[in-house]
Structure 1
Amino acid sequence: MSADGEHTEALARAVRLREQKNARAHEQLVSLAARYPHDAAIAYQTAWSHDSLGLEAQAVPYYESALDGPGLSAEDRHGAFLGLGSTLRVLGRYGAAHAVLRRGLDEFADDASLLTFLAMTLYNLGESREAVRTLLKVTAATSGDDRLRAYRPAIEYYADRLDETE
């Protein structure tokens, strides 16, 4: 098996262990990241592992490496934007979280999960009006509730006019 094939299989094994909540997954991912520091997929999975263990600060450089390198699938790239943005927000790095989530939205326009975390970040930045507007638009666009969907045009209209009265 080629070196590429070996590290791809090692990554697949580590991800399976992580999905099974096996503690060995984390050490295997950290080891793989040290051996292959420019592999975006390994960096992303290692970041995810850190995050899932509550090691948010240690996850950040792995997320950044994953987004800086080539080779992530669109799904994993989306996950890296979401993971990094939400992690930075949890760490109180609101400006950085805002920038990452906006970058993610540049690639994944109107994505409800990115917009939701952006709304939380906007709230943390003191931009409550924009946070509420964003959440109203996400709710209107994604709700499966028939009664709410009936009011979608009104919700979307008033999301941009929260202070308007007759």
Structure 2
Amino acid sequence: MDQLQEAIRLKNEGNLKEAQPLLAELANEHKEDQKVLLVAAEVHEKLELFPQAITFYQQALEFDLNEEYRKKALLHLGISYRAVGLYEQARETLEVGMSEFPSSNPFYIYFAMTLYNLGDSDLAMEIMAQKLIETTKDSELINHRGLIEFYASCLDETFN
């Protein structure tokens, strides 16, 4: 499959617009090839062609992907759903990702963004604050960890 190698070369060199039509054609001709589908999805997503990326990620997830590819496909499918305003599908996909890959922080961040889009800004902020505290190396934030965790769980409350 020399066309795939050419498309990957173009992608790696940053020539996404040149790689895109080649990958779209390959993905339509080789719907059973996980690698083609994932590379096509990635390029379409980077070009903000989200509906096409969604289709390719969905097709790839129909296969028994290895752990790394499944994690990437679930994450980017959720991101792409969110990008086109399919917030419930994004939420469901990201929830699957958090369930299968609980130590992968990007799932939680995009899940929080999706919750914000769905109008659940309190939980979104709580998740964001928690992930910030869990992952930061900033000593000032670490010193405020207890307060940040406390206030993140009661953003709408005031204390007199």
Same fold (TM > 0.5): yes
Does residue 34 (structure 1) correspond to residue 25 (structure 2)? The answer is no
After superposition, residues 60-99 of structure 1 pair within 5 angstroms as 60-71=54-65, 73-99=66-92
TM-score (norm 2): 0.86
Using the TM superposition, give the Cα deviation of residue 21 of structure 1 relative to its aligned residue in structure 2, in angstroms.
Answer: 2.0
1:101-150 CA deviation, whole Å, 9 max, x = no partner? 11111111142211111111000101111101110111001112111123
Query: How far did residue 16 of structure 1 move?
Result: 2.5
| Match among 41, 50, 62 for residue 47 of structure 1 | 41
- Identify which of 107, 117, 121 aligns with 1:114: 107
Which amino acid is the alignment partner of residue 144 of structure 2?
Y
Unpaired runs of 5+ residues, structure 2, are none
Deviations 1:82-106 (A, max 9, x none): 2111111111111011001111111
Q: Distance in 2 between matches of 1:29 and 1:41?
A: 11
Q: How many percent identity over aligned positions? A: 33
Deviation (angstroms), 1:43:
1.1
Secondary structure of 1:33's counterpart equals: helix
- For these two proteins, the number of residue pairs brought into alignment is 158
1:141 touches 1:152 (CA, 8 Å); kept in 2? no
CA distance in 1, matches of 2:27, 2:42: 12
Distance apart, 1:45 and its partner CA: 1.1
Quick one: which amino acid aligns to residue 57 of structure 2?
Answer: Y
Question: Taking structure 1 as reference, are residues 12 and 143 closer, same or farther at Cα in structure 2, changes over 3 Å only?
Answer: farther
2:129 to 128, 131, 136: 136
Matched, 1:127 2:120: yes
- TM-score where L is the length of structure 1: 0.83
